[in-house]
Structure 1
């Protein structure tokens, strides 16, 4: 075989490395949750390091997995910052480590639950009654609608 033929075969049979392009696209498409996942991973690793220094369990990823009831492989994926976490698992991490990973803002409104439901259920109008005139078969008839009773009163 000639050198040119060998080069040609190598070129035909070699695979182009395009995995970096796929990884870049994935990162761009999932940037928001990957950033949050990375922040959670960092916090978990810092707590594990602190636990190890202070001789508090769980000290390792394996111990953390046992406490949480998940596999060590899952914990490893999480601490790499590449796992799309479910709320259930976030809560497991929080309980196992005794920390808060995600804060949900509290409602600042002074409206209590009863007031909230009353505002939804209550009629939108404040009028006691409303009159209007209908013409039916040439007869003029006044019809009064009372929004508080939700029924029509006919007046001749």
Structure 2
């Protein structure tokens, strides 16, 4: 069961990483609904390609950590570091789930933008799933 959960999580991370790489190389699909906006429609921030590339690399490393944690891949680190990594991934996505109390997360204040709608129905629940599932794997392994 742990292998299947790890594969599902790793697949999500890889797909998200590929999407971020698409944006790094100039792709525009989906970009308008993935950046928080204020009520006037202005972006809260404008991520550049270096930050977007860093996120893609992070997501790929999260996928590899998941696959190493269950033994599908052999990692370069001792298993205890992989365990720490799983807890860190869980924590990162829990923080994303909670959000900034204004534009992002379950407690966001602004809820009437395209991003806010997607955040409510897609991004925040996905963050909760990734937090809980990585946490469960970290405890079980």
Of structures 1 and 2, the one scoring higher in RCO (CA 8 A, sep 6+) is 2
Structure with greater proportional helix content: 2
TM surpasses 0.5: no
Higher strand share: 1
Q: Which has the larger radius of gyration?
A: 1
TM-score of the two chains, using structure 1 as the length reference: 0.29
